[in-house]
Amino acid sequence: MIRRPPRSTLSSSSAASDVYKRQPKSFVHRDFHSRNLMMTQKNNPGVLDHQDAVVGPITYDIVSLLKDCYITWDEKLTLDMLHSFSNKIKDVYNFSSEEFVEWYDITGLQRHLKAIGIFSRLNHRDNKTSYLSDIPRTFAYVEKVLEKYPYLTNIKSACHELEIKNLL
């Protein structure tokens, strides 16, 4: 049985969407994570799977890399890398540190909910069960963001009501 989230999630979704859309846009790979980066003899890293590249939010690729669905990175290291990245682009896009972190978190929320759906589809439709082991890590990123921003309370409640945590 498919359970639908309550309608109350719409206000949280709308607020998150507004934050997501407020970001400046740039070229994004859209799948910039550990499994698509390869060591080469020169011009490192070699980047694979770039056919879905588009113009999108400036935080999309840094979220893909630092909140990787397949690897848990050290939190201090990821924060250091995030601050380094934001400092390098700050003059081009003009944002506050707090605003950038919120963009990063909300972009991660969107990306990780999408990834969980894709992993589930790969299991149900294509019998690819290996991605199921990546869902708990990915959902942990979601939970952390839902705890951080009060305007996401309705999405947090929907996840609780749908008993997503119990399905992992």
Asked if residue 159 lies in contact with residue 142, where contact means CB atoms within 8 angstroms, the answer is yes
Q: What is the pTM of this model?
A: 0.82
pLDDT higher at 52 or 80: 80
Q: For the residues 78-82, what does the mean pLDDT come to?
A: 94
Asked if residue 104 lies in contact with residue 59, where contact means CB atoms within 8 angstroms, the answer is yes
pLDDT higher at 26 or 142: 142
Q: What is the pLDDT of residues 34-49, one digit of tens each?
A: 655 566 678 766 555 5
* Residue 159: predicted pLDDT: 86
Band of pLDDT at residue 26, cut at 50, 70 and 90: confident
* Residue 35: predicted pLDDT: 53
Structure tokens that stand for 161 in this block: 């009501």
Distance CA 65, CA 23 (A): 18
Band of pLDDT at residue 106, cut at 50, 70 and 90: very high
Which H or E run includes 25?
Answer: strand 25-28
- At position 20, the amino acid (one-letter code) is Y
Provide the angle, in degrees to the nearest 10, between the axes of the packed helices 9-22 and 97-126. Answer: 120
SS (H, E, C) 26-40: EEECCCCCHHHEECC
Binning the chain into helix, strand and coil, the percentages to the nearest 5 are 65, 5, 30
* Residue 2: predicted pLDDT: 47
Is the model's pLDDT at 10 over the cut of 60? no
Task: Give the number of other Cβ atoms within 10 Å of residue 72's Cβ.
Answer: 12
* Residue 161: predicted pLDDT: 84
